[in-house]
Amino acid sequence: MGTISLEIDGEKVRAEEGATIFEAARENGIHIPALCHYDRLSSYGACRLCMVEISNGKKTRLVASCIYPVQENLVVKTDTDRIRKIRRMIVELLWPLLPSLARKYGIEKSRFIPEYTDCSMCGLCVRYCAEVKKLNVVYFKGRGIDRQPAVVPELANECVYCRECFDLCSGGWIVNRCDDAYI
């Protein structure tokens, strides 16, 4: 595979062909926040914290950097007003789960009245269980605003003994369900 030349935040960088913008930025010491990214899992693009502004010519658009592949001469901006506005909104929506990001973006309280949740819907536990462990004990049920993670009751003991995804969970959903219900 070859390498591609692109620009991230005004800096010319090189990236492996097939890499994502997120990977190229990280390889070049440029931080892009993300909740749903984990190196051992396939790219997912669910949390949208990793949104960046790209342009190729005069057109600009927003993309999830963890799933968007690098392209020759692509110009990427990771910290524009537009991007900060999106990240602030996401942090406000996930208010209880992201105190460090709330401080970073100057958010002292959410303008939304959040229903308490211990799940950010990042999908790390679901994907880890399916992709790494090949067990599919944790899954998403429902659609849209009714979507939520769940544990297959007959297989819940697998979580109690495995616990490998527990550290991936930013809100503690998997820990709370498995520790409370099955230990």
Condensed to tens digits (0 to 9), the pLDDT of residues 94-117 reads: 877 888 888 999 998 888 876 767
pLDDT of residue 114: 66
Residue 42: how many CB atoms within 10 A of its CB? 10
- Are 140 and 98 contained in the same domain? no
What pLDDT score was predicted for residue 179? 63
Is 110 within the bounds of a domain? no
Domain that holds residue 12: 3-104
- Are 7 and 95 found together in one domain? yes
User: What integer pLDDT is reported at residue 180 of this predicted model?
Assistant: 54
Q: What is the pLDDT of residue 182?
A: 45
Residues 89, 136: one domain? no
Q: pLDDT below 50 — which residues of the chain?
A: 181-183
User: Domain tally for the chain?
Assistant: 2
Q: Note the pLDDT of residue 110.
A: 85
CATH of the domain at 76: 3.10.20.740
Residue 21 domain flag: yes
